[in-house]
A and B are shown apart, each in its own frame.
Chain A
Amino acid sequence: AQSVAQPEDQVNVAEGNPLTVKCTYSVSGNPYLFWYVQYPNRGLQFLLKYITGDNLVKGSYGFEAEFNKSQTSFHLKKPSALVSDSALYFCAVRGVMDSSYKLIFGSGTRLLVRP
């Protein structure tokens, strides 16, 4: 069965410092991997995706993620955090061989960036 784990409920970081939000996945075959962000009372905003190709993926708002097949991980990173990055972050996976557009989401990680 496909699954996604986000081991940290919350990540705290000071503004200007680098941030990492962790994600590991389990899927049969190759994965499609995604990061979404959710602000209060809003839907999910797409940040970035890994489909194939370079393991380092760059996305919106200066975020990037590194796909590591051997560790089945897809951690979200940003070199310098902003207070406005404070939000709820979700990692999601879909199996390449899956015929549906169903996404399996992690439980979410709340990012708090302090001034």
Chain B
Amino acid sequence: KAGVTQTPRYLIKTRGQQVTLSCSPISGHRSVSWYQQTPGQGLQFLFEYFSETQRNKGNFPGRFSGRQFSNSRSEMNVSTLELGDSALYLCASSLRTDPTYNEQFFGPGTRLTVL
């Protein structure tokens, strides 16, 4: 079974631009979560989508947004990029068969560099 895929793997943008990152979960997984990883702040939760609905949102400004499509693929968008947005953005998918907790499987990430 194919793992979580993220595109693109690397991205270079300039301040003020916007960017869209894509995540395809493992087949059959309906939950997609996004995390930001930086050397200073570590791994921080951005948001989770399940059945096309945002279930939870982390403490990030409104410039960070996301959505999920009917096939469970997800995109996240960052508008008006700032230098501090440079990070590895990780996507994780899970079966999410509540109430049982299912572990999350991570993709390889998208490395975003803002110049």
Contact = CB atoms under 8 A, between A and B. Distances in A.
Do A and B share a complex? yes
Interface of A: 32, 34, 36, 41-46, 49, 51, 90, 92, 94, 96, 99-108
A46 B105 contact: yes
B4 to A, nearest CB: 7
Contacts of A102: 33, 45, 48, 56, 58
B109 A43 contact: yes
B81 interface: no
Given A44-B92, A102-B48, A108-B42, 9 more contacts: A41-B108, A42-B108, A101-B33, A101-B94, A103-B35, A103-B45, A103-B104, A105-B35, A107-B42
For the complex of A and B, the 7 pairs showing the least CB-CB separation, nearest first, are A100-B56, A105-B43, A43-B106, A44-B106, A43-B108, A102-B45, A43-B109
Interface residues of B, number: 26
Query: Looking at chain B's contact residues, is the secondary structure mostly helix, strand, loop, or mixed?
Result: strand
B76 to A, nearest CB: 15
Nearest to B33: A101
A104 to B, nearest CB: 8
Contacts of A51: 101
Interface string B26-55: 000001010100000011110010100001
Interface string B82-112: 0000000010101010000101111111000
A67 to B, nearest CB: 15
A99 B56 CA distance: 9
Contacts of B96: 101
A62 B10 CA distance: 33
Contacts of A43: 4, 6, 90, 106-109
Contacts of B109: 42-43
B101 A94 contact: yes
Determine which residue in A96, A105, A107 has the highest number of CB atoms from chain B within 10 A of its CB, and name it.
Answer: A105
Contacts of B58: 102
A75 B56 CA distance: 28
A15 B50 CA distance: 43
